[in-house]
Structure 1
């Protein structure tokens, strides 16, 4: 790889790696909070614990796409000229930054991504850790830029076709969106506690 193409794909991988580590750390911190704040049912929407469960459910469905796309991208790298494709690659993760902003656009969530409330606190924590660790492993498997070789359609916010790197970044941004939501629930909980 030469010049700007190498810089672009290296930047993409560095940004995603940072996002994976920081998002995992932010999510982990929620499990150290008082259980009553995690279970508090806000005036509108889900409890923090339900939001955390929803993140694991969404990740599960994203992983179905990410795993398949990674395999197809690695197979494509055996047949296609990766260096030629990388020479045309430009950093594009900023196109997904709106995903991280809670309420930035209308998001119609499928029913199968609703939290059940049947998963324990410890199971949710373990699942999130496993999911983010798997993301890091997948990113390492496509560290030479192979992830740009396969794209899958993403209907959310009319994003269109996304490569494997964008899907992993999307997973982080979706979690960050819900971290904002959890902060709002926590603020509501704290304001109610102050008035008691």
Structure 2
């Protein structure tokens, strides 16, 4: 396993996801506030949900990164790197909207407490947090801690995979926001 390439791939995916989500903050009010006909969330609510989910995932990522760095003192990192292979297929569905049933906890549902500028600024901080963790664990240490992820039965995943999951979660909702925008445009043409 080329751990450095793996980490770089996650950094690239993370940057692209956060940049793409960030562009949605510049959409017009009509697009941001459109309530889709299926009763789903508005774009603004989706953005808040992404922030909230990132918030809770980052708690686990922080704990995991600290434990991984402690484990580095006791475990054989070279052996972990040599024996690790990333199961891309296992994660693929996470980034696809509607690929599986996802019942999110209530604390990850948008409440409308934060305005768009606050959410945007907090998400920028979240991106930097993820980048900082990847830089901290730049030699493969993130493999040395696994935490259970119940979503889509992913099971025990390492800290890098948690960060990738966070990035994929954003991708999942980009599709949802695009669908909302398409419906808004379609309604304007009527």
In the superposition, the TM-score normalised over structure 1's length comes to: 0.94
Q: How many Å separate the matches in 2 of 1:102 and 1:174?
A: 9
Q: How many Å separate the matches in 1 of 2:88 and 2:5?
A: 10
Deviations 1:46-91 (A, max 9, x none): 0000000000000111011100000000000011111122111113
CA deviation after TM superposition for structure 1 residue 94, in Å: 4.1
Query: Which residue in 1 is equivalent to 2:84?
Result: 89
- Equivalent residue for 2:4, pick from 7, 10, 25: 10
Q: How many Å separate the matches in 2 of 1:114 and 1:180?
A: 18
Q: 2:30–2:184: 8 Å Cα contact kept in structure 1?
A: no
> Are 2:180 and 1:180 equivalent residues in the alignment?
no
Q: 2:68–2:141: 8 Å Cα contact kept in structure 1?
A: yes
Secondary structure of 1:78's partner? coil
> Structure 2 regions of 5+ residues with no counterpart?
none
Deviations 1:86-110 (A, max 9, x none): 1111133442111000000011111
Query: Which residue in 2 is equivalent to 1:27?
Result: 21
Q: How many Å separate the matches in 2 of 1:61 and 1:189?
A: 31
> Are 2:146 and 1:146 equivalent residues in the alignment?
no
Query: Which residue in 2 is equivalent to 1:60?
Result: 55
Number of residues of Structure 1 aligned to a counterpart in Structure 2: 189
